[in-house]
Amino acid sequence: MTRFATPLLQVTPAAETEGRHLALHGELDLATTPILVESIASAEIEGDPVVALDLTDLEFVDASGLKAILNAHRRAIRSGRAGIALLNPSSDVHRLLTLTAIDLTVEVRDLVGPAAA
């Protein structure tokens, strides 16, 4: 029996008027970062750029996940967009973003209610 039958990260896309939001559910680490990278790449190929990552249900993120977020943010800026916003991080994830100074580079927004509102 496989120990981890279900991926520890689920990425759910939602089209918005200004681009695509991706909601992350679970854990973003070395094993699951390729799932996020592939989701962002697919959106870019389809011409529907990712403008925000909803972190409401993200329980954990490690350095590889942070690197993937920063790389996507930099690609967005290089292509002339404003970058990627991070929405509703938990207190633990927000603390990590502050400790690593990523919150000085990437916009972090705490929204009231669902991110789609």
Question: For tokens 């389809």, what's the residue?
Answer: 46
Q: What is the 3-state secondary structure (H, E, C) of the chain?
A: CCCCCCCCEEEEEEEECCEEEEEEEEEECCCCHHHHHHHHHHHHHCCCCEEEEEEEEEEEECHHHHHHHHHHHHHHHHCCCCCCEEECCCHHHHHHHHHCCHHHCCCEECCCCCCCC
What is the reported pTM? 0.85
Domain boundaries, the chain: 50-111
Superfamily of domain 50-111: STAS domain (3.30.750.24)
pLDDT truncated to tens, each residue of the chain (117 aa)? Answer: 455 555 689 999 986 767 889 999 999 999 999 999 999 999 888 888 889 999 999 999 999 999 999 999 999 999 998 899 999 999 999 999 999 999 999 999 997 654 444
